[in-house]
Amino acid sequence: MALRNIRVDDDPILRKHARPVTEFNDRLFDLLDDMAETMYKANGVGLAGPQVGVLRRVVVMDVSEDRNELIELINPEITHTEGSQTGNEGCLSLPGLCGTVTRPMVVQVKAQNRHGKWCLYKGEGLKARCFCHELDHLDGILYKDKLDEGTELFRPSEDE
């Protein structure tokens, strides 16, 4: 495994659409492993392919408190949402910044696992927010594009 460089806001790759994964092989497995290692090292809860310079529809995430529930999503798509929640989001590609975004409270995602098998995932609260945030990255969208009306990016205080 190896750490990957996380692309930041001014990198044009973050605004591109990722292509579907068609080959499930060692190269994909290495990418998934590297992305997980990079995400954990950076203290993030999610990371998408474009954030490490790879235009493939791949996401890793772990919103668990003890950081031992890694989810790998390949070719993910949101199949159902309900409710709404408003809260602050941050992003490894916008270091040191936060913004207020409204997202669904419950999200269901269909995605392939590392072996190509289709699976269903359901998330509420932070997990739902993370699903939406990371899948947006696959379409070249950053959370700052979805800030609630009348809000701006800000630097959180030490207490937040």
Q: What is the pLDDT of residue 104?
A: 98
Q: What is the pLDDT of residue 160?
A: 52
Whole domain around residue 119: which residue ranges?
Answer: 12-146
How many residues are there in the chain? 160
Over the stretch 121-159, which tens digit does the pLDDT of each residue have?
A: 999 999 999 999 999 999 999 999 999 999 999 998 865
Q: What is the pLDDT of residue 105?
A: 98
Q: What is the pLDDT of residue 120?
A: 98
> How many domains, in total, are found in the chain?
1
Q: What is the pLDDT of residue 159?
A: 57
Q: Report yes or no on 93 lying in a domain.
A: yes
- Give the CATH number for residue 42: 3.90.45.10
Q: Report yes or no on 5 lying in a domain.
A: no
| CA–CA distance, 17 with 136 (Å, rounded to integer) | 9
Amino acid at 31: L
Reported pTM: 0.95
| CA–CA distance, 120 with 147 (Å, rounded to integer) | 28
Q: Report yes or no on 3 lying in a domain.
A: no
Q: What is the pLDDT of residue 1?
A: 79
| CA–CA distance, 95 with 131 (Å, rounded to integer) | 19
- Active-site positions read 134
Q: Report yes or no on 48 lying in a domain.
A: yes
Q: Report yes or no on 6 lying in a domain.
A: no
Q: Report yes or no on 73 lying in a domain.
A: yes
Core vs surface per residue 10-33: b (16+ CB within 10 A) or e = eeebbeeebeebeeeeeebeebbb
Q: What is the pLDDT of residue 69?
A: 97
Give every residue of the chain whose pLDDT is below 70, as ranges.
158-160
Q: Which residues pair with 106 in a beta bridge?
A: 82, 124
Q: What is the pLDDT of residue 158?
A: 65
The phi and psi torsions of 12 (rounded to 5 degrees) equal -65, -20
